[in-house]
Amino acid sequence: MKKLLSSLSLLIILASFTTFQKPEKIVFFGDSITQAGVNPKGYITVLKDMVKAKGLENKYDLIGAGIGGNKVYDLYLRLEDDVLAKDPSIVVIWVGVNDVWHKRSSGTGTDADKFERFYNAIIKKLKAKNIKVLLCTPAAIGEKTDYSNELDGDLNKYATIIRNIAAGNNCELIDLRKAFLDYNLVNNKDNQEKGILTTDRVHLNDAGNKLVAEEMYKHLIK
């Protein structure tokens, strides 16, 4: 009888744990692309729909933390309030486009050495809280496939920096730069600079949001 009661008690405890287990909180940390990710057709919303379709909506809590115009040092400065305060178990960092683009568009941007230092500093703070960190390469500033987009050289350089940072910190990499190039090689036969995955060479259209959501899903949803 005691053994039966003990078994029943264990089952009740396990059932309670399963019922009240908190969802895994994932914060997407970035710029205007991520800010738009929470819109009705944004990549975070699409990812939520994919999770729901698998019946996993109670297992994951997806949170957008994007602000337009942000560069890597902006992310560093708002890390405490916009990420750590949310107590996530996973953070996805997607930054770099403005660090490159704004050099040409507005005379600002971030030099490569400073970009790397700020990026590593963000990861260090996150890892100190035992947060899993995933890094994304910047996807596009122009969609031409013949490497004639004006900022292809710099964008590829910063994508390589992020790949190296990921390797150096044992962080998982979501290589959106490669995913976008591969997609455009198949689907952009006319070598257009926009309109395949982006609306304006940078920000995502519906196809771009879908592609990003699919790439995120591969790495985040188990």
Give a yes or no: residue 85 inside a domain: yes
CA 220 to chain centre: 10
The parent domain of residue 93 ranges over 25-220
pTM greater than the 0.85 cutoff: yes
CA-CA distance, 157 to 165, in Å (whole number)? 12
Give a yes or no: residue 110 inside a domain: yes
Give a yes or no: residue 179 inside a domain: yes
When divided into structural domains, the chain yields a total of: 1
Each residue of 168-191: b (16+ CB within 10 Å) or e? Answer: eeebebbbbbebbbebbeeebeee
Each residue's pLDDT, cut to its tens digit, for the chain (222 residues) gives 555 445 555 555 455 444 457 899 999 999 999 999 999 999 999 999 999 999 999 999 999 999 999 999 999 999 999 999 999 999 999 999 999 998 776 678 999 999 999 999 999 999 999 999 999 999 999 999 999 999 999 999 999 999 999 999 999 999 999 999 999 999 999 999 999 999 999 999 999 999 999 999 999 998
Give a yes or no: residue 147 inside a domain: yes
Give a yes or no: residue 3 inside a domain: no
Give a yes or no: residue 157 inside a domain: yes
Give a yes or no: residue 94 inside a domain: yes
Q: For the domain that residue 209 is a member of, what is the CATH number?
A: 3.40.50.1110
CA-CA distance, 87 to 81, in Å (whole number)? 10
Give a yes or no: residue 189 inside a domain: yes
Q: What phi, psi does 174 have (nearest 5°)?
A: -110, 100
CA-CA distance, 18 to 131, in Å (whole number)? 22
